Structure 1
Amino acid sequence: MNKQKVCMTGAVILALVFTLLLTGTRVREVEAKVHKTQEALAEEVFRFHVTANSDDPEDQELKLKVRDAVIARMKTEMGEAPERSAGATRRWALEHLDEIEETARDVIRKEGFRYDARAEVTRCYFPDKRYGDLLFPAGTYQALKISLGNAGGQNWWCVLYPALCFTDPVCAVVDEDGKKELEEALSEEEYEMITASTKFKIKWFFFGGSWND
């Protein structure tokens, strides 16, 4: 191999090493921003988690009926609440856990099942989840959690505050009031992070733009 080829090979290797280092740096920067956004978001939303007794079709169907009944009750009883916030929704749930459980049990009995329902306000891990044009990053969030029977089946989740619960996934369009409340609660950068398109994120990652481009 002559000297020119050695130099060219060395240049290519250096370029690859530089690209790998740059890519690793970009990945860490993106991960740090996503983590920061998730932590901020977790303070401003209150989520809802229902776990079915099992994966049997009947148990899965019952899970959705419990979901509908609990959401309907909360909308009715909290509709005129003077304060609208994640904290207020969480406090309401904490103060009405017995009533929430009874609502779930009423549905269970009406449908002819015999198992129990347990409600709690706790911290749950949620995977990445899209609500309309909003993308919530994976992480731990405060949530109202309802466990049905053995709680061994697939779960269902949404956001109680702001109101991003969809009982019909075909019509999963985020309410503008809910989006406005969320936008006001987050920084401009954080809100842009959860509404940014895939094309936008790719542009930032590969071409070094900022999240505010």
Structure 2
Amino acid sequence: MKLPIIKCKKDFLYITLFFLFSFACIIGLRYEQRLEMQKGIAEKIIRFHVIANSDAKEDQDLKLAVRDAVGIHMSELLKDVSDRSSSEIVIWKNMENMKQTAKKVIADKGFDYDVDICLKETDFPVKTYGAYTFPAGNYEALEIIIGAGKGHNWWCVMYPNMCFSDTMYEVIDDDAKSSLKKVLSDDEYQKVLESGDYKVRFRYLTFLNQLCEDNKNAYIEKGK
């Protein structure tokens, strides 16, 4: 009488393993597709990244002052630029000018921190600007590091300009929305309109949650 029970347990094990394998393949494919989508978006935009000297209030306030000064200056220079390559040229030509702008703000605030500025590939987390959510991944960014660069950072999208509408840095006006739609493909534009990063959660089969994260991390590493 025990043999049918043993066979039933084996069948259940095979079915479970098949389910897990199929699930892993599906999740892996989804994350691979999302990784490719992120790469496509990253090829068409330039981010803006400012890192504070520390998390002390005065250093965080200084970070925002530098952000404002450089951001407003760059938004004016980039207002008539129509593609990423042209944006890169404008940024490179004005790199030293932006550094001096940042140093002046720092000095005017009574600090003597050094400033590093560069255009580089940088890892960004998921970030939402108004109704737009950009997926985590590697993006080209104008990066400013103030002093030791040990404080919380600030980031936005410099091209197309989604940072500098009025005095609010996460207010997206119609011009910014239109510019973004022209830069991205229809699929990419719909992607950034989604509410956040894709997550799958299981209430009872909790070990599958780690499987999801492992697959996600594996495909992120693959894309670096």
Which of the five TM-score ranges fits, normalised by the shorter chain? 0.7 to 0.9
Counterparts of 1:101 and 1:23 in 2: how far apart (Å)? 50
* Contact 1:44-1:182 within 8 A present in 2 as well: no
Encode CA deviations 1:81-111: one digit per residue, 9 max, x unaligned: 2x32222222111100111011111111111
TM-score (norm 2): 0.78
TM-score (norm 1): 0.82
In structure 2, the residue corresponding to 1:62 is in which secondary structure? helix
In structure 1, the residue corresponding to 2:48 is in which secondary structure? strand
Partner of 2:50: 50
What is the CA distance between 1:188 and its match in structure 2? 2.7
Counterparts of 1:52 and 1:161 in 2: how far apart (Å)? 22
Q: How does 1:41-190 map to 2 (within 5 A)?
A: 41-79=41-79, 81=80, 83-165=81-163, 168=168, 172-190=170-188
Partner of 1:6: 6
Counterparts of 1:85 and 1:66 in 2: how far apart (Å)? 25
Q: Does the C-alpha gap of structure 1 residues 108 and 188 become closer, same or farther in structure 2, counting only changes over 3 Å?
A: same
> In angstroms, what is the RMSD of aligned CA positions?
2.4
Counterparts of 2:186 and 2:4 in 1: how far apart (Å)? 52
What is the CA distance between 1:121 and its match in structure 2? 1.2
Partner of 1:23: 23
Q: Does the C-alpha gap of structure 1 residues 22 and 195 become closer, same or farther in structure 2, counting only changes over 3 Å?
A: farther
Q: How many equivalent residue pairs? A: 198
Counterparts of 1:123 and 1:46 in 2: how far apart (Å)? 10
Mark the runs of 5 or more structure 1 residues left unpaired by the alignment. Answer: 203-213
In structure 2, the residue corresponding to 1:114 is in which secondary structure? coil
What is the CA distance between 1:35 and its match in structure 2? 1.1
* Contact 1:52-1:149 within 8 A present in 2 as well: yes
Counterparts of 2:197 and 2:96 in 1: how far apart (Å)? 46
Q: Which moved more, 1:62-71 or 1:160-169?
A: 160-169
* Contact 2:65-2:105 within 8 A present in 1 as well: yes
What is the CA distance between 1:182 and its match in structure 2? 2.6
Aligned identity (percent) is 35
Counterparts of 2:198 and 2:97 in 1: how far apart (Å)? 45
What is the CA distance between 1:200 and its match in structure 2? 8.8
In structure 2, the residue corresponding to 1:44 is in which secondary structure? coil
Counterparts of 2:185 and 2:112 in 1: how far apart (Å)? 47
Counterparts of 1:36 and 1:50 in 2: how far apart (Å)? 27
Moved over 4 A (4+): 197-202
In structure 1, the residue corresponding to 2:103 is in which secondary structure? helix
